[in-house]
Amino acid sequence: MTTAAALLQEIRKGKDQLVRLEQQLREIQQQCEHEFHEEQAYRLCRKCNWMESLHY
Ligand SMILES: [Zn+2]
């Protein structure tokens, strides 16, 4: 049986990993020469998935 403590530990590990992944993604996005694909309300870089909202 999985205990609450074990679950909490897994959640914490998952969050740490998420933070690391988000940092890696941000580094990639900061170094990217964006190639935007425009949608209605935002544009999205097809290389790094960076998203900018379009407000005129
Ligand atoms: Zn990009």
Q: Which two tokens stand for residue 5?
A: 């403590």
Are the C-beta atoms of residues 45 and 37 closer than 8 Å to each other? yes
Q: How far is the CA of 36 from the centre of ligand 1 (A)?
A: 7
**Per-residue tens of pLDDT for the chain, all 56 residues:** 689 999 999 999 999 999 999 999 999 999 999 999 998 899 999 999 999 998 76
For residue 45, the tally of other CB atoms under 10 A from its CB is 16
What per-residue confidence (pLDDT) applies to 56?
Answer: 64
Ligand 1 centroid, distance to 14 Cα (angstroms)? 26
Q: What is the pTM of this model?
A: 0.71
For the chain, the DSSP string reads: ---HHHHHHHHHHHHHHHHHHHHHHHHHHHH----EEE-SSEEEETTT--EEE---
**Neighbouring residues of the ion ligand 1, judged by CB less than 5 Å:** 32, 34, 45, 47-48, 50
Give residue 55's pLDDT: 78
Q: What is the pLDDT of residue 49?
A: 95
